[in-house]
Chain A
Amino acid sequence: MVTAEQVWHALAEIPDPEIPVISLVDLGVVKDVHVDGVSVRVEFTPTFLGCPALEVMRDAMAEKVRALGAEPHVDVVLDDSWSTDRITPQGREKLRASGFAPPSPRQAQPLQLVELQRGFRCPYCGSTDTTLENLFGPTPCRSVRYCNACRQPFEQFKTI
């Protein structure tokens, strides 16, 4: 019979479909795993509601559970439990190593444009002489920034 630990382990092998350097467990989207005999229920919290990778993630999780010989039930939880603070420290490091600036921690007060315009650290050269080019980017979770020091555009994971 499968254990919750085995399920967590298997889910940690699934890469994010859009940013494959980070796993779904590092991304923090697996809220909980419940094992009841051969039935495994995975509570999955989407990152951004408009993310086109949601179905791919859900199907990949079901596939992994099935490969363990269990019956998967992946419940999409549309509540407020996911935030970018749930990305693990290892996940943040993997993002940075592959050229994505990780999200800044959430603040209690609402985000202001001026905070986003200040110099976030460039994931390539480490300079903080960077500017915000666009609040929006190629996927819902990313903003586009530019490093004035190494002249490299880079993407930043939005804080939500």
Chain B
Amino acid sequence: MSERALLLLEYADDELILGWRDSEWTGIAPSLEEDVAFSSIAQNEIGHARALYELAARDLGTTADDLAFDRDPAEYRCAQLVELRKLDWAHTIARHWLYETADELRLAALKDSDDEEVAGLAAKMDREEVYHRLHARMWADRLRDEPRFQEAVVGLWPYAAGVLPEELRESFMDIVPGPGPGTGPVERGVHSDELRPLWEEMTMVRRSIAGATW
């Protein structure tokens, strides 16, 4: 697989799986406004995943749906941060804020890419992500002094650092300092136990009748 296809897949998998996790708040968020917000953010992330899969699919001679749903869980390239099932508000906001902070750095780098297609899509995604960042920061500011939120940020930091490639981690640490020596990033390539149950639910309908069109 080309370096470009791999990069697109990593990013698409992050956005797809995070979109799934965000959508788990639909109907059960602490307020109606957050039901709407997390559902809408989930929809955006899955839309970004679709666009990224489409570029990757062209390189790999397949389709976006095949990439999203027909791979084995072990073949997904997402970071563990997005896999974790965190139905707890402090952890959800901590992940949201950490992911958006890391993602802003990733998008800024891709917008400068020599690959015009990737740079163009990154710029388009970035416009939408501005709203996710505003939302994440608004909540992070509100919860900043809460011990539960602070603990969640510390606990999730190694997962968040693992979203980024090596060369962007220093910039990330300038914004969110790591918990200290001995805690390194959780690298891609190994999945948590929580990915498979998500994958089973996500692909259940598609697997029920192989090759069906909807």
Say if the beta carbon of B135 comes within 8 Å of chain A. Answer: yes
Least CB distance from B49 to A in Å reads 9
Consensus secondary structure, chain B interface: helix
The 6 closest A-B pairs by CB, nearest first: A50-B47, A79-B120, A136-B40, A80-B123, A49-B47, A160-B127
Contact for B117 among A51, A78, A82, A112, CB less than 8 A: A78
A–B pairs, 17, beta carbons within 8 Å: A48-B47, A50-B45, A51-B47, A78-B117, A78-B120, A79-B117, A80-B120, A80-B124, A82-B124, A134-B33, A134-B36, A134-B37, A137-B36, A140-B40, A140-B128, A144-B36, A160-B130
Interface residues on A, range: 20 to 34
A116 to B133, CA, bound (A): 14
Say if the beta carbon of B143 comes within 8 Å of chain A. Answer: no
Which residues of B lie under 8 Å from residue A48 when comparing CB positions?
44, 47, 128
A112 to B54, CA, bound (A): 31
Further pairs besides A49-B124, A112-B134: 6, Cβ < 8 Å: A79-B116, A79-B120, A116-B134, A136-B41, A144-B36, A158-B131
Least CB distance from A29 to B in Å reads 13
Binding site for B on A (CB under 8 A): 48-52, 78-83, 110-113, 116, 133-140, 144, 158, 160
Consensus secondary structure, chain A interface: loop
Known: A136-B36, A144-B36. A83 touches B120 (CB 8 A): no
Least CB distance from B135 to A in Å reads 5
Which chain A residue shows the least CB distance to B39? Answer: A136
Least CB distance from B85 to A in Å reads 22
